[in-house]
Structure 1
Amino acid sequence: MLLTPRTVRPPRPLPQARPAGRSPRRAAALLASAVSVCLLAASAPAPPLGVGDRLFPYLGNPGYDVASYDLSLTYPGTNDKPLKAVTTIDAWTTTGLDRLNLDFAHGKVDSVEVDGRRATFSRAGDDLVVTPERALPRGSWTRITVRHTSDPRPAKGHDGGWVRTTDGLAMANQADAAHLVFPCNDHPSDKAMFTIRVTAPNRYTAVANGLPTGVDKVGSSTTWTYRTQHPMATELAQVSIGRSTVLHRTGPHGLPVRDVVPTADRKALEPWLAKTPDQIAWMEKKVGPYPFETYGLLMAQATTGFELETQTLSLFEKNVFTEPAYPKWYVESIMVHELSHQWFGDSVSPRTWSDLWLNEGHATWYEALYAEEKAHRPMADRMKAAYRASDSWRESGGPPAAPKPPSAGQKIGIFRPNVYDGAALVLYALRQEIGRPAFERLERTWARTHRDGTVTTADFERLASSTAGRDLSGFFKAWLYGAKTPPMPGHGEWKAAPPAKAAAR
């Protein structure tokens, strides 16, 4: 995700001033979902809280693996009242469970059923603790059905989840905010299939991740149903409800491309939207076939401060495309940033949030490469500027693969320059180290081998070493974990500015 520029002047080339979007942010600063107490058997020792993520220790829940979510949402026709909702989760237990936890922090729970039987439930921090009538044995399928509300109003102490637009709602769940919208296992290590049903008054249009499977009008309301064909992390879920128009076009190899825009702005936005098929074709030449069943842009009439790579339907502030101060090449590069996330971050997802650099570094890389090839903005110039600032970024945010934990109340959270241009700088150094042909082969192999999966930094290191035909562990240790930026291969003249000096620029 990219942070949206807030200046009316054209953005500067360095990421700090480059408004556009560093992927995330937002949700990142949310308080970590608290007290995930997935109790095993009564005689067992107390289990760990959450799944033990270094940056979000209370996020996710051990003891089960979600296979699918079925979300049913009923929109009341105003974005300041809760939606009625039913969330059904099919999961496979990985240990015996007397109780299980779901991440859910912002809504009223009316009832919970486990395998069709009424279950008791309680709250523990940001967790919904469910006690089924019968204990769940290890290695069994279970279905959890939660009837609840989903509240679009801001949650105290949290940021993210529903985004209220001028005419409805959209979602922005990255990194830790999906559980503000629906009960879930809110960690990217547990991807699952999604079916999403949205019922709204007839004057609204609803769109969600994946492909439509039905539109049913009954009286004054319509229900839209969408289903993903590939697993998805909870942070990438998207639902748009608004007075919108859905525009359709065809991408490479017959790929259905659909964009969701405010109806009044469709003509003004069409020239930008028409660029998407060629951008997809450009990315396919770099890293291989587009990994999902559809793609498109969601233009939200809202001020979010970022753009977001929600799977198959990237979220953008409409003003990014209507603000005349932003150069054309810059806006197009932002579009490619979010598009490239469909390969890097969505299809190939981080196993932990410390692996975030694999998402944002790659998205920034292809953003910059597109600007170099299409707008003659030299990659080397941008990387040299990033090199100068890199020590400052490492000091303030940590090295790329070991980012510092988010501070409470900081909206951008873990989405700092060290995981954007700082991480793209690592990829530039790697290309310098192993050569362009090997680097391009590595990129294609990475996207193909790990499609629909989750990965770690160690996975990338191993594949890079294998592709290069030599051990690169020393290279990665220095570039990904060092407090100081190593010398740039092939550019010994590049110098990093002292942190205080770089920060003052």
Structure 2
Amino acid sequence: MKPNPDADPYTPHSGDRRWSALHYDLRLGYRVATNRLDASATVTGRALVPLDRIVLDLHGLRVDRVDVDGTRAAKVATGTHKVTVTPAAPIAAGDDFSVHLRYRGAPRPLRSPWGQIGWEELTDGVIVAAQPTGAPSWFPCNDRPDDKATYRFEVTAESGYDVVANGDLLGSERARAGTTWAYAVTEPMATYLATVQIGRYRTTTLRGTPAVTVHHPADMTAAVRTDFGRVPDMIALYGDVFGPYPFSSYGIVVTDDELEIPLEAHGLAVFGRNHVDGEHGTDRLIAHELAHQWWGNSVTAGRWRDIWLHEGFACYAEWLWSEHRGGDSADVLADRHRQALLAGPQDLVVADPGAREMFDDRVYKRGALALHALRRTFGDAVFTAALRSLGDRHRHGTVAPTDVYAAVAHAAGTTELAVRRVTGPWIDEPGVPGLPTTVAG
């Protein structure tokens, strides 16, 4: 497959910049026992240029029929990764359109430079972990992080399984064919953050605003209440520093399987059984995944090269939580991770790490250290004001590093150049600089 010259160079085969998605209505019938998906998707979009064809990302699933604005498509060409739809009549620039697709198959994860991503079978259920390009493993989409849309999900699975998806639960209805669960996402969401989790779960609700709902195996109730019992306090802390929690709900799924790492989704986080010990052993991971609701899920990097805007911020949020709880301070953690960086290779530039290295741990730690350098240079008041302004201004939108520099400069009453002098050695250069030795008042 030829790369799209207008695509993100880190994901050159994904997305189409000639149109933008507005809403996805996904209706999925899934059999856990056989890994069989029978589905339909109605994608509402807007043409950004005149369109004689609509290209969607979809991987490994058979398309049975496509209609555009209620009329059968003139032509449908399917490949391993794409569906190209020719409407009966061209679509003018600026016009909205609706594409309805019926499709089916046995969904499976995609092989990628970052491992297996997308729809994946568990021992007894399903997990969807799609970052960065796994969304087409289960629904047709315009797979770009900067193309956010609203969503509605209706998922039918065998009765006895719980279905968890993004957004607010509208209800569930049991019938002979199984139980149908409906969810709605009213805030714009990136495709890679869309998820469906299926398993035999119990539900535990934790106090707080918003209420925190944990879906977990039945034998883990006590451990879940202990390990996730601090989440409402984390939300309160991050609300003070980052601004109000950006979504209407927060859900957590604990799978019965062990997982290599936890993962974030819009309004959700997913952990494996191995991440819950009933002794707060994974507090750091819980704090990290929660922070992504602000940085990554609400405020989303428009380009994958800027992933430090997700991971550096979430990593620094771990340090803020440790400090808040009376553990190691951000100063102590910053020095510790700086020393670790000095002991390792210094050949990665966070501003453009390369597609294969964008999830390298140095992106996380150097991004966090850049934020700590800003905090030490300009002080807590400026740091907090800048983050709250950034989160509010770009809420449910996309962001670039220049937006961060502008927010700090405005809060500090200085220039963006002065801000970049602080962050540049961490973000734009491969060496390991020192941290500011004095702290602003």
TM range (shorter): over 0.9
- 135-144 or 267-276: which moved more? 267-276
Higher RCO (Cα < 8 Å, 6 or more apart)? 1
Give the CA deviation at 1:124. Answer: 4.5
Q: 1:199/1:449 Cα in 2 relative to 1: closer, same or farther (>3 Å)?
A: same
Task: Name which of 56, 67, 91 aligns with 1:102.
Answer: 56
Question: SS at the partner of 1:334?
Answer: helix
Task: Name which of 459, 470, 488 aligns with 2:414.
Answer: 470
- Within a 5 Å distance, the mapping from 1:60-209 to structure 2 comes to 60-78=15-33, 80-119=34-73, 120-124=75-79, 126-149=81-104, 151-155=106-110, 159-209=116-166
Report if the CA contact (8 A) 1:256-1:293 is conserved. no
Q: 1:487/1:472 Cα in 2 relative to 1: closer, same or farther (>3 Å)?
A: farther
Distance 2:322 2:205 in 1: 26
Distance 2:63 2:259 in 1: 28
Question: SS at the partner of 2:188?
Answer: coil
Amino acid at match of 2:385: R
Amino acid at match of 2:125: G
Report if the CA contact (8 A) 1:296-1:312 is conserved. yes
Task: Name which of 365, 373, 378 aligns with 1:429.
Answer: 373
Q: 1:321/1:315 Cα in 2 relative to 1: closer, same or farther (>3 Å)?
A: same
- Within a 5 Å distance, the mapping from 1:274-423 to structure 2 comes to 274-322=229-277, 328=280, 330-390=281-341, 395-396=346-347, 398-406=348-356, 414-423=358-367
Q: 1:278/1:478 Cα in 2 relative to 1: closer, same or farther (>3 Å)?
A: closer
Give the CA deviation at 1:205. Answer: 1.3
- 205-214 or 191-200: which moved more? 205-214
Question: SS at the partner of 2:10?
Answer: coil
Report if the CA contact (8 A) 2:305-2:355 is conserved. no
Amino acid at match of 1:276: V
Give the CA deviation at 1:220. Answer: 4.4
Residue 210 (str. 1) matches residue 157 (str. 2): no
Residue 481 (str. 1) matches residue 428 (str. 2): yes
Which residue in 2 is equivalent to 1:442? 386
Distance 2:2 2:243 in 1: 41
Give the CA deviation at 1:54. Answer: 2.9
Distance 1:393 1:418 in 2: 10
Identity across matched positions, percent: 32
Report if the CA contact (8 A) 2:259-2:274 is conserved. no
Deviations, residues 186-217 of structure 1 (Å, cap 9, x unaligned): 11100110101110111111111111112122
Q: 1:276/1:117 Cα in 2 relative to 1: closer, same or farther (>3 Å)?
A: same
Residue 263 (str. 1) matches residue 218 (str. 2): yes
Give the CA deviation at 1:174. Answer: 0.7
Residue 228 (str. 1) matches residue 185 (str. 2): yes
Distance 2:191 2:258 in 1: 22
Distance 1:161 1:402 in 2: 25
Deviations, residues 246-280 of structure 1 (Å, cap 9, x unaligned): 2234422xx23211112232333222233222221
Q: Which has the higher strand share?
A: 2
Give the CA deviation at 1:491. Answer: 7.2
Give the CA deviation at 1:392. Answer: 6.9
Distance 1:392 1:466 in 2: 36
Give the CA deviation at 1:301. Answer: 2.2
Report if the CA contact (8 A) 1:434-1:468 is conserved. yes
Give the CA deviation at 1:75. Answer: 1.3
| Residues matched between the structures, number | 433
Deviations, residues 368-426 of structure 1 (Å, cap 9, x unaligned): 12112214213222211322343677744x222211221xxxxxx52111221111011
What are structure 2's unaligned runs of at least 5 residues? none
Distance 1:394 1:466 in 2: 35
Question: SS at the partner of 2:31?
Answer: coil
Report if the CA contact (8 A) 1:76-1:83 is conserved. yes
Report if the CA contact (8 A) 2:376-2:438 is conserved. no
Q: 1:402/1:115 Cα in 2 relative to 1: closer, same or farther (>3 Å)?
A: same
Distance 1:419 1:195 in 2: 34
- 348-357 or 121-130: which moved more? 121-130
What are structure 1's unaligned runs of at least 5 residues? 1-33, 37-48, 407-412, 493-505
Distance 1:429 1:156 in 2: 37
Where in structure 1 do 4 or more consecutive aligned residues deviate above 6 Å? none
Which residue in 1 is equivalent to 2:205? 248
Amino acid at match of 2:404: F
Which residue in 2 is equivalent to 1:39? none
Report if the CA contact (8 A) 1:51-1:58 is conserved. no
Q: 1:457/1:221 Cα in 2 relative to 1: closer, same or farther (>3 Å)?
A: same
User: How much is the aligned-residue C-alpha RMSD, in angstroms?
Assistant: 2.1
Report if the CA contact (8 A) 1:59-1:187 is conserved. yes
Distance 1:298 1:239 in 2: 10
- 102-111 or 471-480: which moved more? 471-480
Q: 1:306/1:287 Cα in 2 relative to 1: closer, same or farther (>3 Å)?
A: same
Distance 1:341 1:335 in 2: 10
- 380-389 or 306-315: which moved more? 380-389
Report if the CA contact (8 A) 2:255-2:271 is conserved. yes
Amino acid at match of 2:20: D
Q: 1:435/1:491 Cα in 2 relative to 1: closer, same or farther (>3 Å)?
A: closer
Report if the CA contact (8 A) 2:255-2:273 is conserved. yes
Residue 461 (str. 1) matches residue 415 (str. 2): no
Question: SS at the partner of 2:42?
Answer: strand
Distance 2:50 2:344 in 1: 44
